[in-house]
Structure 1
Amino acid sequence: LVPDLAQAWQDVAAGREPTLEPIGTSLRQWSRRLRESAQEPEVTGELGYWTEVLGHREPGLGSRALDARRDTVGTAGHLTRELSADVTEELLTTLPAAFHAEINDVLLSAFALAVQDWRGDTSGVLVELEAHGREESRVPGADLTRTVGWFTSTHPVRLAPGSTADAGAALKEVKEQLRAVPGKGLGYGMLRHLNPKTGALLRELPRPQIKFNYLGRIAGATGDQRAQDWATAPGSAGIGGGRDADMPLTHAVEVNAITRDTEHGPELLVSWTWAKGLLTEAEVTRLAEAWFTTLRALVEHAAQGDAGGFTPSDVPLAMLDQSEIARLEAELSEWRTSE
């Protein structure tokens, strides 16, 4: 919406009638085609994957289950933490490059390790991931680049990084687990909400107790005057708000993170929301600190000369498992050293 407003303002300021580019796929068209696709074999075939992900029962967070009457937005706890620019910069550049990964792979790997350490087990963690939902590949021919609407989708993912002893190996494990999600997760919402038969089955399965959402990066204003005029106002790059106080919480813990550019460089801003009837502020603070500690450890790990490497999803045609890739990388390293 912002580019449209900026273009319209520029046209009016120049004495022209505002002229905007045409819309590709409307929100109504997208909704109808999603409902139709939810009945197709390609999507219904994902049901087994989602039931398996949700089939692993986890220990409860807190002393009881969520209560829609007591655990509401108005009674929730809130905590905000910021990660320094020097660490955030490495999370966005050096670390993902070393592991041929994305920022979400890095953040979720550290998060899963932190939750395991916080809970005192290594059984993995079930998380509900929130995404932008504009996965055009699920509806061939769709074009949502200029469509205004709230397309957010969510899907569960089970993150099992293993032991915390090898942070690099843990990142590779989680990266592959995220790559295994079919269709970037959009099919889950289609089966859960748009297909009555599969929806009835998925409603009976446990819901993740933790929700995680990385909103991306808010870039600072560039030298372009229009970009400066329509950049995010200073101090307004927070997260959350706009929810009714009586709205029930859907998760014991919700984590919303965003990277914002500052005069010191990019900083990771994280907002924590939790049910105060289940967890104390001290408990959530420990988890928040554990996550940042693990992120710093990953950055330190990436600084080592031999850190990083490929995973099977990077070379799918080779059909190699992780141990075979590691052996090839070791042989290549020895060959380079001997030159």
Structure 2
Amino acid sequence: MEEVSVLLGAVETRQLLQEAGKAYHTEINDLLLAGLGLALRDWTGEEVLQIGLEGHGRELQGGGMDLSRTVGWFTSLYPVHLWLGKDAGAAALIKGVKEQLRKVPGKGLGYGVLRYQCGDGRLSGTLPWDILFNYLGQLDNAVSGDGLLGVASESVGDSVSSTHRYSEKIQINCKVQGGRLHIDIRYSGLHYRRESILSLSALYLSGLNTLISHCLIQGQQGTAYTPSDYGLEKEISHEELDRFLKEKKKTSNTKNIMRF
């Protein structure tokens, strides 16, 4: 696997982390994936894509588990369909990606249980995605503020065996370190040219900047909510909710929306 790395600006990273989420009540993963979707739509010309998502080991459901003899973490791998829409603007893209992620049961843990524990034949074989995305979090928060702990500059060596066979052709890892978003794209040199991946990385940065700018403007007008904010992600689409709220605004003040 070869690698291309790019950085989002410090100002844009701060806006992404602290301000952009207000516009549509989103988490950073929503915006990172919406930006990736925008980039992949331009890069591939496809309107529907299936990518793999990797959880970073903090998605255990429920309590009462004895983990005292456990080494490692509980990572999760699961597929997500991104319906990007040929002419979808920033608002529709962000809302669509957000709602698609909210519909994933248990943040993807169930897929691994069915595939590896229950032996569901429908999920056997190779993993159903060519692109794997993982947001590693804000690594700056993991470093001690008193200077007792810091990030070592020395190499730790390979974290994956050199004999490991990757299922995906592209791996995209994002992390915030040193106040900036790092985007590391690992790819199969047998399937992609470096120039093509450089183009993808540039499109990703451009897409993120576009969405951040849009969210800052939208945020000044207030938060635009989506079905999952009302517990309705499985009942209606964000387009239906938008039409409902628009119609209600024409006729009267909108009452509280509750799930019955």
TM range (shorter): 0.7 to 0.9
Q: Check conservation: 1:133, 1:186, Cα contact below 8 A.
A: no
> Which residue does the alignment assign to 2:258?
none
> Which residue does the alignment assign to 1:15?
none
> Which residue does the alignment assign to 1:322?
238
- Structure 2 unpaired stretches of 5+: 254-260
Pick aligned residue for 1:229 from 142, 148, 151: 148
* Deviation by residue 1:168-204 (Cα, 9 ceiling, x = unmatched): 11100010000000111001111111113x1x32114
Q: Check conservation: 1:161, 1:171, Cα contact below 8 A.
A: no
> Which residue does the alignment assign to 1:214?
135
Q: Which amino acid counterpart does residue 78 of structure 1 have in structure 2?
A: E
Normalised by the length of structure 1, the TM-score is 0.65
> Which residue does the alignment assign to 1:192?
115
The alpha-carbon distance between structure 1 residues 169 and 145, as it changes in their structure 2 partners (threshold 3 A), is farther
- Mapping of 1:268-283 within 5 angstroms? 268-283=181-196
Q: Check conservation: 1:82, 1:270, Cα contact below 8 A.
A: yes
Paired with 1:240 and 1:112, the residues of 2 have a C-alpha distance of 32
SS of structure 2 residue aligned to 1:158: strand
- More helix by percentage: 1
Paired with 1:103 and 1:116, the residues of 2 have a C-alpha distance of 20
* Deviation by residue 1:91-140 (Cα, 9 ceiling, x = unmatched): 11211121111100000011112111101132x21111111234332x54
RMSD over aligned CA atoms reads 2.9
Q: Which amino acid counterpart does residue 107 of structure 2 have in structure 1?
A: K
Paired with 2:182 and 2:70, the residues of 1 have a C-alpha distance of 28
Q: Check conservation: 1:216, 1:258, Cα contact below 8 A.
A: yes
> Which residue does the alignment assign to 2:92?
169
Structure with more contact order per residue of length (Cα contacts < 8 Å, sep ≥ 6): 2
- Superposition deviation, residue 89 in structure 1: 1.1
Paired with 2:22 and 2:216, the residues of 1 have a C-alpha distance of 12
The alpha-carbon distance between structure 1 residues 164 and 141, as it changes in their structure 2 partners (threshold 3 A), is farther
> Which residue does the alignment assign to 1:254?
171
Question: Percent same amino acid among aligned pairs?
Answer: 33
Pick aligned residue for 1:294 from 189, 193, 207: 207
Q: Check conservation: 1:252, 1:278, Cα contact below 8 A.
A: yes
- Structure 1 unpaired stretches of 5+: 1-75
Paired with 1:162 and 1:239, the residues of 2 have a C-alpha distance of 42
Q: Which amino acid counterpart does residue 154 of structure 1 have in structure 2?
A: L
Q: Check conservation: 1:239, 1:271, Cα contact below 8 A.
A: no
SS of structure 1 residue aligned to 2:174: strand
Q: Check conservation: 1:164, 1:170, Cα contact below 8 A.
A: no
Aligned residues: 248
Normalised by the length of structure 2, the TM-score is 0.84
Paired with 1:126 and 1:201, the residues of 2 have a C-alpha distance of 17
Larger radius of gyration between Structure 1 and Structure 2: 1
> Which residue does the alignment assign to 1:136?
60
The alpha-carbon distance between structure 1 residues 132 and 165, as it changes in their structure 2 partners (threshold 3 A), is closer
Q: Which amino acid counterpart does residue 133 of structure 1 have in structure 2?
A: G
